[in-house]
Amino acid sequence: MYENYLKPLFDKIVAVIGLIVLLPILTLVAILLMIFQNVEIIYTQNRPGKNGKIFKLVKFKTMNNDTNSCGDLLSDEERLTKIGAWIRKLSIDELPQLVNVIKGEMSIVGPRPWLVEYLPKYNEFQNRRHEVKPGITGWAQVNGRNLISWDQRFEYDVYYVDHLTFLLDLKILFMTVWKVLASKGVSGKGRMTMDKFLGNH
């Protein structure tokens, strides 16, 4: 009942209210990005949703488009701008995904939608994370985010799939607010983004 009916309704109500309340912040961030980053302010990328269905995820762009002498993009750490690092630290770059929630492609809470290129690399257990809609925040995010291993992320994601309830969602939301305010787990030591998933060995 909750997962199929109440959660989607709850998601859309929260997303609409969130966009209205956060509109001044979103507008300010967009202006700051236009002034200091000098690249497009919105970034879209194909990501797998529920049952692996591909959708376009929306985020604030926090990296520039700098390339090396061969024309290849520099590493994430090298392309992350100063304003982008600040926006990531506060997780503001994720807020445009409220649009994905309103469109029914994402949920407020659920496993984070990772890269499409990872899909063929998942084993059966890992692929279970796609049994529910991906979320803006999730159980793995409030239990370490970018500081935990890929195996731990999968464990947390599948745990969420198996224990999805309103109370767990509420707990994750409260923990998310605390984590964001404390800026915990955004990046590991010496890096600003999470390591790529290389598959199972």
Encode pLDDT of 4-54 as tens digits: 899 999 999 999 999 999 999 999 999 999 888 877 899 899 999 999 999
At 190 the pLDDT is: 43
Residue 157 burial class via C-beta count within 10 angstroms: exposed 0-12, middle 13-18, buried 19 and up: buried
pLDDT at residue 155, rounded to an integer: 97
Give the mean pLDDT of 47-65.
94
> Which residue has better confidence, 163 or 195?
163
Average pLDDT score, the chain: 89
Q: Tokens 């979320």 correspond to what residue?
A: 135
pLDDT band (50, 70, 90) for residue 192: low
Q: Which pLDDT band, with edges at 50, 70 and 90, does 121 fall under?
A: very high
Query: What pLDDT, on the 0 to 100 scale, is given for residue 131?
Result: 97
% pLDDT > 90, the chain: 63
**pLDDT for position 106:** 97
Q: What is the CA radius of gyration of the chain?
A: 17
User: Phi and psi at residue 53, in whole multiples of 5°?
Assistant: -65, 130
Average pLDDT over residues 120-127: 95
Average pLDDT over residues 63-72: 83
DSSP state of 188: -
Q: What is the pTM of this model?
A: 0.88
Q: Strand 107-109 to strand 54-60: parallel, antiparallel, or no bridges (unpaired)?
A: unpaired
What mean pLDDT comes out for the span 75-95? 87
